[in-house]
Chain A
Amino acid sequence: MNRYFVPLGSFVLLAIVLAIGIRHSPDKGLIQSPLIGKPAPSFALPDLTAPGREVQASQFSGRWYVFNVWGTWCAECRAEHPALVAIAKSGVIPLVGLDWKDDDGDARRWLSELGDPYVEVAADRDGRAAIDWGVYGAPETFLVNDRGVIVHKQIGAMTAEIWQRDFLPLLPRRAGS
Chain B
Amino acid sequence: MNPRRGLSLLLAVLCGLVVGSGARAIDPAELPDPTMQARYEELIHEFRCMQCQNEALADSPVSLAGDLRREIRELLLAGKSDAQIRDFLVARYGEFILFRPRFSLRNAWLWLGPGLLLAFGAWVGWRVLRERESLLASDPDSLEDEVPRP
Name B95's closest neighbour in chain A (CB-CB).
A34
Shortest beta-carbon distance from B76 to chain A in Å: 16
A10 to B91, CA, bound (A): 37
Shortest beta-carbon distance from B57 to chain A in Å: 12
Q: Tell me which residues across on chain B come within 8 A of A132, comparing CB atoms.
A: 92
- Asked if B63 and A127 sit within 8 Å, CB to CB, the answer is yes
Shortest beta-carbon distance from A10 to chain B in Å: 9
Knowing A126-B67, A136-B64, say if A34 contacts B92 (CB, 8 Å): yes
Q: Flag B83-107 by CB within 8 Å of A: 1 or 0 each.
A: 0000000111111100000000000
Knowing A32-B94, A34-B93, say if A131 contacts B50 (CB, 8 Å): no
Give the tally of cross-chain contacts (CB within 8 A). 42
B81: Cβ under 8 A from any A Cβ: no
- Asked if A134 and B93 sit within 8 Å, CB to CB, the answer is yes
Q: What is the total number of residues of chain B having a CB less than 8 Å from a CB of chain A?
A: 16
B51: Cβ under 8 A from any A Cβ: yes
A8: Cβ under 8 A from any B Cβ: no
Of B68, B90, B94, B96, the contact of A131 (CB 8 Å cutoff): B68
Of A6, A101, A127, A136, the contact of B50 (CB 8 Å cutoff): A136
A-B contact pairs, 12 of them (CB 8 A): A6-B124, A31-B94, A33-B93, A34-B92, A34-B93, A101-B63, A131-B92, A132-B92, A134-B93, A136-B64, A137-B50, A137-B51
Binding site for B on A (CB under 8 A): 6, 29, 31-35, 101, 126-128, 130-134, 136-137
